[in-house]
Structure 1
Amino acid sequence: MLNISFNSVNRHVDRDCLPSLRRVENRRSGNVLLRLLTIFSILFLISLFLPWTQHIRATGQVTALQPNQRPQMVQTIIGGQILEWYVREGDLVEEGDTILRLAETKDAYFDTSLLDRTRSQVMAKEMSLQSYQSKIDALANQMEALRESGRLRTEQARNKLQQARLKVASDSMDLEATRLNTEVARNQYERMEELYEQGLKSLTDLENRRVTFQQAQAKLISAENRLLASRNDVINAQVELNAIQAKLRDDLAKASSERYTALSGRFEAEAGVAKLENEFSNYERRTDLYILRAPQSGYITEILAAGIGENLSAGEQVVTIVPANYQLAVEIFVRPIDLPLLNPGQQVNIQFDGWPSIVFSGWPNTSYGTYSGTVVAIDRAINAGGEYRVMVAPDDSEEAWPEALRIGSGASALVLLKDVPLWYEMWRKINGFPADLYVPAATTAPAAPPKIKVPK
């Protein structure tokens, strides 16, 4: 009671009969409040020096770590008409299992014996190629025979030419001998004629010397004729040799031309064989593509084209397959201002949609329902939303991620940074300063790039 009025009621109130009033008046509320304020102030001051973990908040979704483990669309390579389905949504298929069977829709492939007829064309073209090769071999043998025959005939003509030259030499020597004999016979005739005029020789002796001289002249003319005939034989032998060589060159040129024609035909036949074999391989491969098979083991999640008899175009998406075995990861998206604070190997606390959790941002060790991850990759280019994508893989040293987790589930992440006092974090937030640059110890030394084994 304040007792500020002159009309006090204290003398009219019997406090012995009012124990509640007596307890209220005896209560020291001010002292208790002062003690509580003091205790809370001390606790607040102490809490300012508690450690606080700086962090970056980001959202994302669950995906697969390896690109071949993510959901994929199975497409048709060729166009066709659906004949029969072998799977339904939710089925587990192994690699190579049949998904559906197609029928041909192009009239160019309607022939049921297309492969056999194409193979027959290939065989016929190969026989044509063999014929060209046989002709080429025969022409090569013919050219070799022509060269051998020409060599022998040329040698024979050269021998004949040499014989003619030797005969010219022999006839030249005979001509010189005959010319000497004729000169001697003339001298003898002239001396005999002088002696006859002097009366020392008879007419008979003179006539004998005349006859001898005339015979010598006849022999000289005959020797000159033989020399001219021998020289003519040399010229004929030379002409014959040149004719043989010219004919040989002409025959070789003709055979070579025919051989090159056969080679051209063989090359065209080879091109035809290659083209037909290519067509045959394409037809054979197209026949295999009528069956659409699973590219890998997984679950059929969505069938996009379901009707029997429905026509599909080349490259059209048919079903979606989620791989049966995959390694989960989380892709989160961070702002460009936070990108310099991220490094591979950095620890991340993840909260998955559908899993209850209690998160204390500054004290990750006290959070409940969160899972640990590690930054494994950071995109080098910004996406259309103005953010950078960061891949986070499970941390093998911490608790495993839930088995029921599915690709596409939402996730929110806290990328843990440096540990600072709470007062420093409050001062940073008030002033709008960015978080401190933090590099994990695991990333101080760059890891060696993984070795990739290239198949032969």
Structure 2
Amino acid sequence: MLNISRSPLHGKVDLSEYTHSQVVFHRKHFMTIDRFLIVFGIILLIILFLPWTQIVSGNGQVTTLTPDQRPQTIQSPIPGRIEKWYVKEGEFVNKGDTILHISEIKNEYFDPQLVERTGQQIEAKSMSVKSYEEKVKALNNQIEALVTERRLKLNMASNKLIQARLKVQSDSIDFEAAKTNIEIAKRRYDRIESLEGEGLYSLRDLEENKLKLQETEAKLISQENKLLSSINEVINAEIEINRVQAEYTDKISKAQSDLYTAQSGQFDTSAQVTKLENERTNYEMRNDMYFIRAPQSGIINKAIRGGIGETFKEGERLVGIMPDGYDMAVETFVEPIDLPLMYIGAKVRIQFDGWPAIVFSGWPNVSYGTYGGKIVAIENFISDNGKYRVLISPDPEAETWPSDVRVGSGAFTMALLEDVPIWFELWRKLNGFPPNYYKPENLTKLDSK
């Protein structure tokens, strides 16, 4: 039948007598096939010029639009032991509801009256602070009294110094007068002595003048002694001033030293009071942490640590909660080569896991079971899977997302790009070229501004 042998069968046997050969080799049959192929080719040519929307696909999962609406775990900031559970898995709790009660496992916090005993220590230290305050006041009064007494003593010593200096001046004047008197007495004695030799004065007159001369010399010596005594009094007054200054400086310095010691003790005790108050506040807050409460309203997903009497460390996850009232979003991941094609506000079609969809890639308008979204955030740093994360929110202009979709379910996304002919898309796929890079007109104008 294929006529590939060197002895063709149709050259020896007449095939036209057979019914099947008449059907196969009939002229009209070829005409039908030719017409079919021509129509199919025309239809295929028309299809090649139909518009096709380029897409960037990605796989992701359903999440929430804001971080505080995403599923979270509740931890305990302190280590402890589980004593009692107040909720069950799947139960709805309001913000502030108690989830479980824990007890202490550290021996320094075992005392049930730890807060009260710390308060008593604070009261005792506060009384010590008051005692130091009174001591500081007494020392300040003592210092003021010493300063006043020093001022009065110095005034008294200064007055004595002035008096001594005035007395020195008076004695020095008397001393000069005594010097003058002794000179006068000497001249008189010499004159009488010479006249007595001539017989003009008697010996008695000479002896009287000699006696007066000796009395005048005695007065000169006495006046000189008074002057020296007055000078000594001046020196003594100056020494007294220095002594008073040094004495009261020493007393005031000692009182100030006691004052600084008392103030140091006061400040140290005040610091201890502050430290104890801080510890008491920490103890009160720690006692409040024995009750693990819901940070926000939601549903208890899973008790990660169960049982009674089980111990755990600080920061360890205890229970998972799904917040109530969240705004759904989809996080998807795109290849680095497709990242320049992503922009805020781009339209995206989404297919959720568990929701059957008939998807015509490139014809989003005729796809069934997909939902619209738009890009609201693009991560600038590559993720651990080697792709870039893109966050998608519901498109208010498109259909509403299913209310039964749960956070964490998978999603397949298709970002809608430029409309091109089908032949161009086939040519791009065969050559391995990326989709066309472009920006919408309104976004381009915004960048230029």
TM-score, normalised by the number of residues in structure 2: 0.90
Q: Which residue number corresponds to residue 319 of structure 1? A: 319
Q: Is the 1:345–1:440 contact (alpha carbons within 8 Å) kept by the matching residues of 2?
A: no
- Cα offset, 1:445, TM superposition: 5.0
- Return the alpha-carbon distance in structure 2 between the equivalents of residues 106 and 393 of structure 1: 47
CA contact (8 A) 1:344 1:377 kept: yes
Residues in 1 aligned to 2:182 and 2:32: alpha-carbon distance in whole angstroms: 179
Q: Which SS does the other structure have where 1:277 is aligned?
A: helix
- Provide the aligned C-alpha RMSD in A: 2.3
The residue that corresponds to 2:56 in the other structure is 56
1:19 is matched with none
Distance in 1 between the 2:197 and 2:351 partners? 162
Q: Deviations over 1:331-363 (max 9, x none)?
A: 112222222222222111000111122111111
1:180 and 2:171 aligned = no
1:318 deviates by 0.7
Shift of 1:377: 1.8
What is the DSSP-based 3-state SS (H/G/I as helix, E as strand, rest coil) of the residue aligned with 2:167? helix
- Number of matched residues? 428
> How many angstroms apart in 2 are the aligned matches of 1:424 and 1:166?
126
Alpha-carbon separation, structure 2, partners of 1:212 and 1:38: 176
Change (3 A) 1:158 1:6: closer
Q: CA deviation at 1:367?
A: 0.8
Q: Secondary structure at the match of 1:438?
A: coil
Looking at structure 2, the residues matched to 33 and 179 of structure 1 have their Cα atoms a distance apart, in angstroms, of 169
1:429 is matched by which residue type in structure 2? K
| Alignment map for 1:43-442 (pairs within 5 Å) | 43-442=43-442
Mark the CA change 1:94 to 1:442 in structure 2 (over 3 Å): closer, same or farther: farther
For residue 168 of structure 1, report the CA deviation from its aligned partner. 0.3
State the alpha-carbon separation in 1 of the partners of residues 201 and 415 from structure 2.
157
- Worse-superposed segment, 192-201 or 362-371: 192-201
Cα distance in structure 1, aligned partners of 2:17 and 2:312:
103
Q: Distance in 2 between matches of 1:283 and 1:325?
A: 35
Q: What whole-Å deviation, never above 9, does each CA across 1:152-201 have from its counterpart, x for those lacking one?
A: 21121111111101100000001111221122122212222222222212
Q: How many Å apart are 1:51 and its aligned residue? A: 0.4
Return the letter of the residue paired with 1:253. Answer: S
Contact residue 94 and residue 296 of structure 1 kept, 8 A: yes
Contact map agreement 1:344 1:443 (CA 8 A) in 2: no
With over 3 angstroms needed to count, the CA separation of the structure-2 counterparts of 1:34 and 1:315, relative to structure 1, is: same
Partner SS for 1:380: coil
Q: Which amino acid aligns with 1:314?
A: E
Taking the aligned partners of 2:242 and 2:338, their CA distance within structure 1 comes to: 96
Residue type of the partner of 1:52? Answer: W
Deviation for aligned residue 1:8:
8.7
- In structure 1, C-alpha distance between the alignment counterparts of 2:239 and 2:439, rounded to whole Å: 101
Separation in 2, partners of 1:320, 1:314: 16
Whole-Å separation in 2 of the counterparts to 1:34 and 1:413: 42
Shift of the 68–7 alpha-carbon distance from structure 1 to 2, 3 Å rule, reads: closer
Alignment gaps of 5+ in structure 1: 10-25, 448-456
Letter of the aligned partner of 2:171 in structure 1? D
C-alpha separation in 2, matches of 1:152 and 1:7: 157
Please give the TM-score of this superposition, normalised by the length of structure 1.
0.88
Specify every segment of 5 or more residues in structure 2 that has no aligned partner in the other structure, as ranges. 1-12, 19-25
Classify the secondary structure of the residue corresponding to 2:365.
helix
Structure 2 counterpart SS, 1:179:
helix
Q: Deviation digits for residues 252-298 of structure 1, max 9, x if unmatched? A: 22122212222221232122122212211211111111111111111
| Distance of 1:340 and 1:8 partners within structure 2 | 70
| Residues 346 and 440 in structure 1, CA contact (< 8 A), matched pair in contact too | no
Change (3 A) 1:203 1:44: same
Tell me how far apart the structure 2 counterparts of residues 111 and 394 of structure 1 sit (CA, whole Å): 55
Structure 2 SS opposite 1:444: helix
Question: Per-residue deviation at 1:228?
Answer: 1.2
Distance in 1 separating the partners of 2:397 and 2:441: 16
- Given that 1:58 and 1:334 are in contact with CA atoms closer than 8 Å, whether structure 2 keeps it comes out as yes
**Which stretch of the first structure deviates more once superposed, 73-82 or 307-316?**
307-316
User: Displacement of 1:5 after TM fit?
Assistant: 7.0
Once residues 227 and 337 of structure 1 are traced to their aligned partners in structure 2, the CA distance between those partners, rounded to angstroms, is 115
Change (3 A) 1:340 1:253: same
Match of 1:15 in 2: none
Q: Which moved more, 1:373-382 or 1:52-61?
A: 373-382
Show the counterpart of 2:6: none
Moved more, 372-381 or 403-412: 372-381
**Greater mean deviation of Cα atoms: 138-147 or 95-104:** 138-147
The structure-2 alpha-carbon separation of the partners of 1:7 and 1:195, relative to structure 1 and needing over 3 Å to count, comes to closer
Hey, what's the Cα distance between the residues in 2 that align with 1:6 and 1:347? 64
